[in-house]
Chains A and B, each alone.
Chain A
Amino acid sequence: MTSPAPAGTLAGQVPAGPLIEARGLVKRFGGFTAVDGIDVSVAAGEAFGFLGPNGAGKSSTMRMVGCVSPPSAGTLRILGLDPVHDGSAIRARLGVVPQRDTLDEELTVRENVVVYARYFGLSRAQSRAKADELLEFAQLTERADDRVEPLSGGMKRRLTIARALVNDPDILLLDEPTTGLDPQARHVLWDRLFRLKRQGVTLVLTTHYMDEAEQLCDRLVVMDGGRIAAEGSPRELIRQYSTREVLELRLADGVAGSEPARVAELLARDARRTEVLPDRVLVYTDDADAAAAEAEQRGFAVVSALTRRSTLEDVFLHLTGRTLVD
């Protein structure tokens, strides 16, 4: 149970290279391979996202980075240190926001932060000061002496984030930070995360909300089946895996000549790609208005035509498919 001086970097110093560096990282649970040899590198100050459907291996990766799950194979360095041997020293410099809140329901809002600060070795006075500061940041000052249980989902999430910041972490790990929150709560949270980013905190997050990834991430990887399916900035990914615009056509039922498959086939000539869904035809093109005009011109029984910009969601569905995986 000795705690040798960390071989990598001293606490508080940020290494020159990447903060997180994984090479051929694998996580197996018995016969099941959750993470299947991924290479990831996260630089200081970056906001980095893991995207993917449920079961893609995002959370397993986050747990390995959080030093609570030893890798099965490959190499992983965090802050220049080895998570297996220096787990405690690394965790001292991480902030972790787990997928499900693990707040201490037996304590008040303020005590949750204070007690957590004590785990990081802060003195009582430091812990109290830190709690006041962070509750202000999380807009929870008025609820400081309330119990945690009756708080709304958004408040609990903000408290979890406040708690993860007690040690002024070099890296903040957020596992699906806004899943299950209402739109207002999500926007408040995003606002807080932006501020942290501006202060230079390195953010690593998982999400399956595309708008969240587009809002927050400088760079992201799309994971599927434990592997990395694509990597880049949101803009790069859209450019690479989708078109500039998308036309969504809804057609009247049972009109001869307007069968979805036929419509798709005819429109496909001028489009990069088309997709037939039960209720719509999607046309991926660089000029959606032109495609809509053509549909009109050909006399298809169009109920509605929506033209929009391509989003990460299009990339995501293209890369990981539309079938439910769990």
Chain B
Amino acid sequence: MSVQAPPGGALRAVARSVPFPLGAGLAWRLLERNARSARRYWIVIASGFFEPVFYLLSLGVGLGALVGPIEVEPGRSVPYAMFVAPALLAASAMNGAVFDSTISVFFKLKYTRLYESVLSTPLRPWDVAVAEIGWALLRGAVYAGAFLLVLVAAGFVASWWALLALPAAVLIGFGFAAVGMAASTYMRTWTDFEFVQLAVLPMFLFSATFYPLSTYPPAVQWLVQATPLFHAVQLERSLLLGDVGWGLLGHAAVFAVMAAAGLVVAARRLDRLLLS
């Protein structure tokens, strides 16, 4: 039988030994598979764009009329819509990444058993982790980009720093996707996803998303500041309102750490789970 060229080559071997994303190697092929299958349900993917937009209209425009302007720094107030828009950007980056890396991965792991067939090829568990997180980030980037355009069109963007809001959203997604992926390797049944809800929903509602941190009593403020989404909201809010300082790097670092820790755990767990 004829034999095709194996995925060899010194260059590729070197590339594969380099960490994500340069060394993704065959992982790109799994990403390609996801893109192919997405063509069948593009309408579902497209509909994901509307979620933050609906929230923006309801909260920013509808409720905004009741709330009035919000003071974001001493002496500077912005309309409520401008206050809440960056939070919706951050929350949607979190929600999308968590959904793609938990429910969607669990479904492929346990129900369609996609990874079972993937692992009877040269791909390895690490490739699976890289591909799925990569896919989550790709989708997240598209959503974030589209939402940012809506904000620009609505005049809710106050600064050129907003250009950095897109990579920031991807970084936020990376952190949540890696941790979500690690968490989903511990899931046994669908009921366990209630724990994901338990983590995500309170963050969405209470991490200074819809009202300023100062609304809380000081003791509660500490708790709020301990949630990752709080840092995501601060990061996006500062960038979109042009209120930039070195402190933003601290917020960003939270997600770099989450991404690294999540990846390490996910890769290790996937090895044990898929190659048993």
Contacts and interface: CB of A to CB of B under 8 A. Distances in A.
A68 B121 contact: no
A98 B1 contact: no
Nearest to B121: A119
Contact of A119 (B1, B2, B29): B29
Contacts of B4: 120-122, 126, 130, 167-168
A104 interface: yes
Given A68-B275, A91-B121, 7 more contacts: A1-B126, A92-B7, A103-B117, A105-B112, A119-B121, A168-B4, A201-B1
Contacts of B120: 66, 68, 91, 94, 96, 98, 164
Contacts of B41: 106
Interface in A89-129: 89, 91-92, 94, 96, 98, 100, 102-107, 111, 115-116, 118-122, 126
Nearest to B274: A68
A122 B5 CA distance: 8
Given A3-B16, A88-B124, A199-B1, A69 B114 contact: no
Nearest to A90: B122
Contacts of A69: 275-276
Interface residues of B, number: 38
B111 to A, nearest CB: 10
Given A106-B37, A111-B36, A200-B1, A119 B13 contact: no
A118 B116 contact: no
B32 A92 contact: no
Interface string B22-62: 01001001101100110011000000000000000000000
For A29, A96, A104, the residue with the greatest tally of chain B CB atoms inside 10 Å of its CB is A104
B119 interface: yes
6 contacts: A68-B119, A69-B276, A100-B113, A102-B116, A111-B36, A200-B1
B113 A107 contact: no
B17 A115 contact: no
Interface in B102-156: 112-114, 116-124, 126
B75 interface: no
A299 interface: no
A107 B121 contact: no
Contacts of A126: 4
Given A68-B120, A91-B120, A107-B37, A12 B3 contact: yes
A1 B17 contact: yes
A11 B4 CA distance: 10
A2 interface: yes
B124 A118 contact: no
Interface of A: 1-5, 11-12, 29, 66, 68-70, 87-89, 91-92, 94, 96, 98, 100, 102-107, 111, 115-116, 118-122, 126, 130, 163-164, 167-168, 199-201
Contacts of A2: 13, 16-17
B8 interface: yes
B175 to A, nearest CB: 21
Contacts of B29: 115, 118-119, 121
Given A1-B16, A106-B37, A199-B1, A11 B6 contact: yes
Contacts of B1: 168, 199-201
Nearest to A95: B120
A104 B32 CA distance: 13
A119 B276 contact: no
Contacts of B33: 104, 107, 115, 118
Given A91-B121, A96-B120, A105-B112, A1 B3 contact: no
A236 to B, nearest CB: 30
B196 to A, nearest CB: 23
A293 B12 CA distance: 75
B116 A98 contact: yes
Residue of B119, B121, B123 with most chain A CB atoms under a 10 A cut-off:
B121
A100 B121 CA distance: 17
Contacts of B30: 119
A190 B163 CA distance: 61
B32 A121 contact: no
A121 to B, nearest CB: 3
A119 B118 contact: yes
**Closest 6 A/B residue pairs (Cβ):** A121-B7, A96-B120, A119-B121, A106-B37, A102-B117, A168-B1
A12 B30 CA distance: 24
B37 A3 contact: no
A5 B12 CA distance: 12
B38 to A, nearest CB: 9
Nearest to A105: B112
A298 to B, nearest CB: 58
B184 to A, nearest CB: 19
A311 B273 CA distance: 41
Contacts of B6: 11-12, 92, 121
Contacts of A66: 120
Contact of A102 (B19, B113, B276): B113
Nearest to A63: B276
